């Protein structure tokens, strides 16, 4: 129980990112095209793999995953803004910021 409780924030954050990637992939298949869909599904697969690694891996894996997600979400924010979307780019920017905050929290918890 201690291990599950210790890594709970890490695992919840990763599952949240998996869901964001999956829903974005479904939406992009309908609107943005196959390339953005493939990138979203690849991001979901990487996050799902990190979820299973987070059971026994150090926090460094989560830091790198959260940083990768932050870069991707920032790109999606730019892409939405460039495409002329009205408000969704702010959601992507917020997701990018929250992933940066999560990476910082995990970095501080690692003691480095």
pTM of the model: 0.75
Is the pLDDT reported for residue 1 higher than 50? no
Burial code (b: 16+ CB inside 10 Å, e: under 16) for 20-43 equals bbbebbeebeeebeeebbebbbeb
Give tens-digit pLDDT for 32-80: 778 778 888 888 888 888 777 766 666 677 788 888 889 988 888 888 7
Q: What is the pLDDT of residue 7?
A: 65
What is the distance between the alpha carbons of residues 31 and 54, in angstroms, rounded to a whole number? 33
Q: What is the pLDDT of residue 5?
A: 58
Q: Using 50, 70 and 90 to split pLDDT, how confident is the model at 91?
A: confident
Could you tell me where the DSSP H helices lie in 1-112?
A: 2-6, 8-31, 34-53, 59-83, 88-110
């Amino acid at each position: 129980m201690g291990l599950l409780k210790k890594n709970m924030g890490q695992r919840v954050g990763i599952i949240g990112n998996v869901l964001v990637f999956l829903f974005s992939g479904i939406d992009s298949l309908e609107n943005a095209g196959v390339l953005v869909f493939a990138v979203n599904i690849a991001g979901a697969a990487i996050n799902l793999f990190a979820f299973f690694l987070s059971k026994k891996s150090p926090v460094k894996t989560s830091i790198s995953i959260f940083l990768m997600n932050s870069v991707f979400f920032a790109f999606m924010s730019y892409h939405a803004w460039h495409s002329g979307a009205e408000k969704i780019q702010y959601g992507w920017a917020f997701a990018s910021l929250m992933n940066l905050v999560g990476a910082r929290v995990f970095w501080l918890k690692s003691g480095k």
